[in-house]
Amino acid sequence: MKYDSMIIFSSRTGNTEKLAEKIFFSLPKHKKDIVRAAQWDAKVEANIYFVGFWVDKGDCPPDIAGILQALHGKKVALFGTCGEGDNPGYYEMLEGTVKKHLSEDNDYLGCFLCQGKMPMAVRARYENMLENAQDKAIVQKMLHNFDEGLLHPDERDLKNLERFVQECMEKITGK
Ligand SMILES: Cc1cc2nc3c(=O)[nH]c(=O)nc-3n(C[C@H](O)[C@H](O)[C@H](O)COP(=O)(O)O)c2cc1C
Instruction: Assess whether 63 and 111 both reside in one domain.
Output: yes
Instruction: Assess whether 110 and 70 both reside in one domain.
Output: yes
Task: Indicate which CATH number applies to the domain containing 87.
Answer: 3.40.50.360
Instruction: Assess whether 99 and 79 both reside in one domain.
Output: yes
Report the percentage of the chain scoring pLDDT > 70: 99
Integer Cα distance of 33 and 17 in angstroms: 14
Integer Cα distance of 130 and 19 in angstroms: 32
Q: What is the number of domains present in the chain?
A: 2
Mind listing the pLDDT tens digit for each residue in 49-103?
Answer: 999 999 999 999 999 999 999 999 999 999 999 999 989 999 999 999 999 999 9
Integer Cα distance of 102 and 108 in angstroms: 9
The minimum-distance atom of ligand 1 relative to the CA of 59 is 8
Which residues contact ligand 1 via a Cβ below 6 A?
11-17, 54-58, 81-84, 116, 118
Instruction: Assess whether 82 and 146 both reside in one domain.
Output: no
Residue 114's nearest CA partner among 74, 87, 143, 144 is 87
Instruction: Assess whether 73 and 129 both reside in one domain.
Output: no
Mean local confidence (pLDDT), 109-124: 97
Torsion angles phi and psi, residue 78, rounded to 5: -110, 150
Instruction: Assess whether 39 and 69 both reside in one domain.
Output: yes
The minimum-distance atom of ligand 1 relative to the CA of 17 is 26
Instruction: Assess whether 92 and 82 both reside in one domain.
Output: yes
The H or E element that residue 129 is part of is helix 120-132
**First CA to last CA distance, the chain:** 27
Instruction: Assess whether 78 and 38 both reside in one domain.
Output: yes
Q: Whose CA is nearest to atom 31 of ligand 1?
A: 56
Instruction: Assess whether 142 and 90 both reside in one domain.
Output: no
Structure pTM? 0.96
Instruction: Assess whether 169 and 97 both reside in one domain.
Output: yes
Domain of 127 in residue numbering reads as 118-151
Instruction: Assess whether 25 and 102 both reside in one domain.
Output: yes
pLDDT higher for 111 or 28? 111
Mean local confidence (pLDDT), 120-143: 94
Mind listing the pLDDT tens digit for each residue in 90-100?
Answer: 999 999 999 99
Identify the pLDDT of residue 175. 65
Q: Is 28 exposed, middle or buried (0-12, 13-18, 19+ CB in 10 A)?
A: exposed
Give 175 Cα–ligand 1 centroid separation in angstroms.
35
Give 17 Cα–ligand 1 centroid separation in angstroms.
13
Pocket perturbation via mutation, ligand 1, pick of 21, 22, 23, 57 by most ligand atoms within 8 A of CB: 57
Instruction: Assess whether 77 and 141 both reside in one domain.
Output: no
